[in-house]
Amino acid sequence: MKFLDQVKIFIKAGDGGSGSPSFRREKFIEFGGPDGGDGGKGGSIILKSERNLNTLIDFRYQQHFKSERGSDGKGKNQTGRGGKNLYLNVPVGTQVFEEDNKTLIFDFKKESEEFVVAVGGRGGFGNTRFKSSTNRAPKKFTKGTKGEEFWIWLQLKTIADIGIIGLPNAGKSSLLAAITSARPKIANYKFTTLNPNLGVAVYDDKEVTLADIPGIIEGAHEGIGLGIKFLKHIERCKSLLHLIDITEEDLKKSYTQVRKELKNYSKDMLKKDELVVLNKTDLLEDKEVKKIKNDFLKKHKVNLITLSTFDKKSISKIKSKLIKYVS
């Protein structure tokens, strides 16, 4: 499935139906009074958050949405049928902005939330409404009001318990595939991951949602590489899993470079709980892994574990660790 995390759409709620100017006309009733019914209300446009969606791609091919108009009123005091509401499903994590793409209207943080983004027009009054003691046969009626219409922006910010960060080719997608049922693209070259991937890990009947975003390189906060486009997808994550390739020549540089980009994007990123994982330990001897781990801890006071995605014990160990970060 293609990924799209920002889209501009036009929405038009249904207009209200017009009232009826009808008069009662029946056999043997020469002077029937007014019996025009009111018009029906126009349908509204409602956004609803859906857990099983993780992209806004459906809105790429259709940008204009219009709900149903209310029916006109009829004689015999029949009120027009109200227009049907139009429901548009969006992923959890979608933010709704005005046309300026800066003014936030609504933020979907939970599943099955609903937000009426455009209200349908009111139905007009039939002539029965204007009957009085001084005006027994009013011809006056009103038309329905217009439904709201405008452009809005939809922006998706992934919601996950833990965001997996690191340099390109650190093994983030392999880790996600190993501990969840997600099947991201995996290959031995940089920027295999071009879009955020979500997965759910289960341990002791507890669930934790993880988001794997494309690798962060120097200058990412300024848009270099895949840059700022995807840094926003870890803003909502409660914790961060910082994955580092243990075979890198300079682990300190690898670690601080990613941290620097997070800080330059938003200082709040550094306030999140962080678990550092030295990955690909299967490529080194146990003694060397232990030495590298100890040297790293001397330089950085962090929560640190080592991992090989090919080792089942390592996978169970990291699952149990991750659960503690969200419980």
Helix axes 286-299, 251-265, angle to 10 degrees: 40
Helix, strand, or coil (residue 116): strand
- Looking at the chain, the domain(s) classified CATH 3.40.50.300 span 162-324
Q: What is the DSSP string of 36-62?
A: PPPPPPPPPEEEEEETT----GGGTS-
If you average pLDDT over residues 220-243, what whole number do you get?
70
Structure tokens that stand for 50 in this block = 């859906």
| Residues 19/40, Cβ–Cβ less than 8 Å | no
CA–CA dist 71, 311 (Å, integer): 65
* 295 against 198, higher pLDDT: 295
Looking only at the bridges linking them, the beta strands covering 197-203 and 273-279 are: unpaired
Alpha helices in the chain (DSSP H): 172-179, 228-231, 251-265, 286-299, 312-324
Residue range(s) occupied by CATH 2.70.210.12 in the chain: 1-156
pLDDT above 90 covers a percentage of the chain that reads 53
Q: pLDDT tens, 146-192?
A: 999 999 999 988 778 898 888 888 888 888 888 887 564 444 434 44
What was the pLDDT predicted at 312? Answer: 87
Residues 69 and 44: their CA atoms lie apart, in Å, by 9
**pLDDT tens for residues 269-296?**
899 999 999 999 999 999 999 999 999 9
Q: How confident is the model at residue 228 (pLDDT cuts 50, 70, 90)?
A: low
pLDDT tens string 244-257: 999 998 999 989 98
pTM of the model: 0.76
Sheet hosting strand 114-118, strand order edge to edge: 86-91, 45-50, 114-118
What pLDDT score does 224 carry? 45
Whether residue 94 is predicted with pLDDT greater than 80 in this model: the reply is: yes
Whole-number Å distance between alpha carbons of 225 and 215: 9
Residue 174 has what pLDDT? 86
Question: Which pLDDT value is given to residue 188?
Answer: 44
Over residues 126-144, mean pLDDT: 92
pLDDT band at residue 25 under the 50/70/90 scheme: confident
The pLDDT score that the predictor gives to residue 245 is 93
Question: Rounded to whole angstroms, how far apart are CA atoms 11 and 90?
Answer: 14
Q: Of 3.90.180.10, 2.70.210.12, 3.40.50.720, 3.30.479.30, which CATH number belongs to 1-156?
A: 2.70.210.12
Query: Which CATH number is associated with domain 162-324?
Result: 3.40.50.300
